[in-house]
Structure 1
Amino acid sequence: MPRVEKEDQESMAMKLLSVQNSPVECEFYVCKWDKQVWGRLNVPKHSFILWMAIQDKLKTKVRLFKFKVIDEEVCGLCNIHKENVEHLFFHCSFSHVCLQVLKTWLGWNVRAEDLQSLIRWIERSKQSQFKKKVLAAALVYHLWRARNDEVLKISSSSQEVIIRRTKEAVKLRVSCAMPRKVSSEDKNWFAEL
């Protein structure tokens, strides 16, 4: 076994210490949508479904078909196109109407083609923080619920029912969890909804 000189031992120890104390270089993913998903104005189950949708982890028909759980991947709401997250919440003729009505109700003037762009628009919008946190999770949840009811043959919801449920859920949650520091303008806006 070769003999290690004391100088070599000290230099090796210094190298180890310098490696241990040096900053580790890592690339971090900066999450831009967390405040929209996990805000206190969202019902937790709505937040969870929105989070799953953003991650593209909802069990849509395309995903289920891929794993050979089902035999067809056609959207249960429009019965025309393949059902994936993007289609279900933005391109489906059924959900598109719901989204447009609710954006008009909230005074949102945005043309979003997917959840990421909608969340990005909400984040960059010049609207108050209060207004930004009101809708996205509730709409995604109620569309997903209507889709599940349709697929599981529990019931069939009309667009008007989904819009009404979403508005009621938003109003109820915001009235229960109204932040203390809300401008009078935002309070008036919410009262008029």
Structure 2
Amino acid sequence: MSADDLLLFSKGDAASMMTLLRSFSTFSKRTGLNMSRGKSNAYFNGVQAGLKQEILQISGMVEGSLPFRNFLWDRGVDFIRSPLVSWEKACKPTTEGGLGLKNEVVWNRAAIGKLVNHIYIKGQNWETYNPPTNSSWYWRRICRVKTLLSEAYEQDLWVDQHYKGYTIAKGYDFLRDKGQEVSWHGLVWNKWSVPKHSFFAWVYHHNNMNTMEKLYRLNISEEDTCLICREGKESRDHLFFSCPYSRRVVTKVGEWLGIQIPFYDLLSWRLVATGSKLRKGVVNEFINACLYHLWQQRNQSRIDLTLNHPCTVASRIIEEIHNRVMAIIKQPIKEKDRSFVSWIERRGRSSGMNVDGNED
């Protein structure tokens, strides 16, 4: 599996598979994410051979085998690879540059804190409580969590600004490693963004893509030249802002959106995205989509030794965002957003570009 793959689960029967496929069809229309049946697999557990074949025929998939490839951290029976982003960073809130995942070790400690304080020693002073010397070793070990939480207590009272008592969520927030708020979290995570675009933009802002410059520095590659233009070192900034190919793609998308920024500064688009939250969100998604599709072209040039025309890529970006906006726009549309939505609709109908860059 890859990071932007999707896992769907159902009962192992034909009727459930049909329901699942219909649901995914609705999901695809809403999000613009479509299933590649040739790259999709079905996994079974305890399903008879005849029923397996029926489900595979209905779904158009082939049967896969375990183990899966891990989400961000490629570590398994047969392979180990350096993670793109550390687990510690991924477990931070999105406002601090993470994915908002829960660190299960820290969450477990916070849960133990509630278990001990509110069930087993209820009515006693948490701060002064010590397990009896004749208690079991695991109880003494469980009670060690008191030391981790002691600074957040005054006697037996959990201290917060409202003195409302201990909860697992509060304990988790107290125990977790805090980080600085990042300025780009609103750019990456907004409802207008296609999930795979947001995820790649998140990796981009952590500057953890395996560019040729990075691979060369790690002695994995013998060259650090940009795989697209062959005119400079393939750093993150070169690939997305200096590469002539990327400039052509970004320029075409910017022209469609009505934004012209000197020096092809893609990230500065948000500075000129004035108006409603809807308009700002759509502009942010165009930034994320450009980053994602430029990286896809870079990988295509490396793996398949092919490259799409810049106008083809720009058209693909425009079509994806147009479909995304039209699919999730709320009805009725707010008065302040009507002119912008109408403009998007009109531009979407007349935005067809051929590979020469001329409007159809």
The TM-score with structure 1 as length reference comes to 0.77
Asked which structure has the greater CA Rg, the reply is 2
Match of 2:280 among 132, 137, 140: 132
Paired letter, 1:77: I
Structure 1 position 162, deviation (Å): 0.8
Structure 1 position 102, deviation (Å): 0.9
Structure 1 position 169, deviation (Å): 1.2
Paired letter, 2:190: G
Match of 1:151 among 288, 302, 309: 302
Native 8 Å contact 1:86 1:114 kept in 2 = no
Native 8 Å contact 2:273 2:279 kept in 1 = no
Distance in 1, Cα, partners of 2:184 & 2:330: 20
3-state SS of paired residue (1:133): helix
Q: Does the alignment pair 1:163 with 2:314?
A: yes
Distance in 2, Cα, partners of 1:50 & 1:111: 22
Unaligned 5+ runs, structure 1? 1-15
Root-mean-square deviation (Å): 2.7
More helix by share: 1
Structure 1 residues 64-90: Cα deviation after superposition (integer angstroms, max 9, x where no partner): 111111111111111110011111111
State how 1:8-27 maps to structure 2 within 5 Å: none
Native 8 Å contact 1:89 1:95 kept in 2 = yes
Native 8 Å contact 2:188 2:198 kept in 1 = yes
Structure 1 position 38, deviation (Å): 1.2
Q: Which residue of 2 aligns with 1:189?
A: 343
Paired letter, 1:146: Q
Structure 1 position 153, deviation (Å): 2.0
Q: Which residue of 1 aligns with 2:186?
A: 35
Distance in 2, Cα, partners of 1:156 & 1:92: 14
State how 1:15-94 maps to structure 2 within 5 Å: 29-94=180-245
Paired letter, 1:140: L
Q: Which residue of 1 aligns with 2:251?
A: 100
Paired letter, 1:36: L
Structure 1 position 112, deviation (Å): 5.9
The TM-score with structure 2 as length reference comes to 0.43
Native 8 Å contact 1:139 1:166 kept in 2 = yes
Unaligned 5+ runs, structure 2? 1-152, 162-173, 348-360
Paired letter, 1:131: R
Aligned-pair identity in percent equals: 26
Structure 1 position 159, deviation (Å): 0.6
Paired letter, 2:275: Q
Structure 1 position 124, deviation (Å): 6.2
Structure 1 residues 84-117: Cα deviation after superposition (integer angstroms, max 9, x where no partner): 11111110011011111111110123336666xx
Structure 1 position 56, deviation (Å): 0.8
**CA distance 1:111–1:127, change in 2 (3 Å):** farther
Task: Spell out structure 1 runs of 4+ moving beyond 3 A.
Answer: 20-24, 111-115, 179-182
Distance in 2, Cα, partners of 1:22 & 1:50: 35
